[in-house]
Amino acid sequence: MFSQKISKYSEDRYCDLFDTLYGELLVWINERPEIIVNVDLETLKIYFIEFLLVHKERNNDYNEYFVLTYSDDIVDLFIKFKEICNSYGTNFLKEKRRTSDDLSEFILGNASIHEKMSENEIMDDENEYEYE
């Protein structure tokens, strides 16, 4: 399937689409240094292609900090993915019940979030331990 043409009217192949989408995901992650991928990038790419090809029911993993911090950005990224798919002439990510929540869960399932702490929070934490 990967080397198959997406359309008879184009030279684009599915592997080109997957590479483009994966590249966008990596740019998004790299712009957020507090998000650390838990697997090597080749494995992440395999998981990402599986995410694109197979719509699975969500596990409903919930991380309040992640959702509050990144939900708008992930919605924007998901919309960008859908626009890229449209430009390639595919219906990927248009399945019923496929939402940006799926992308959010994919990212959260394959990455760790290192919350940033302000200097005041760090000092408060240090002072809390002094009195124990």
Residue 131 has what pLDDT? 52
- C-beta separation of 55 from 102 below 8 A: yes
- State phi, psi for 97 to the nearest 5 degrees: 70, 10
Q: What single-letter amino acid sits at 102?
A: D
Least confident of 30-34, 50-54, 103-107, 128-132: 128-132
Reported as a single tens digit per residue, the pLDDT across 52-98 is: 988 776 666 667 888 888 999 999 999 999 999 999 888 878 878 88
Q: Is the pTM of this model over 0.85?
A: no
Residue 113 has what pLDDT? 86
pLDDT confidence bin for 117, thresholds 50/70/90:
low
Following DSSP, what letter does each residue of 31-88 receive, concatenated? Answer: T-TTEEESS-HHHHHHHHHHHHH--PPP-----HHHHHHHHHHHHHHHHHHHHHHHHH
Reported as a single tens digit per residue, the pLDDT across 2-48 is: 677 777 777 878 899 999 999 999 999 999 999 999 999 999 999 99
Q: How far apart are CA 97 and CA 125, in angstroms?
A: 42
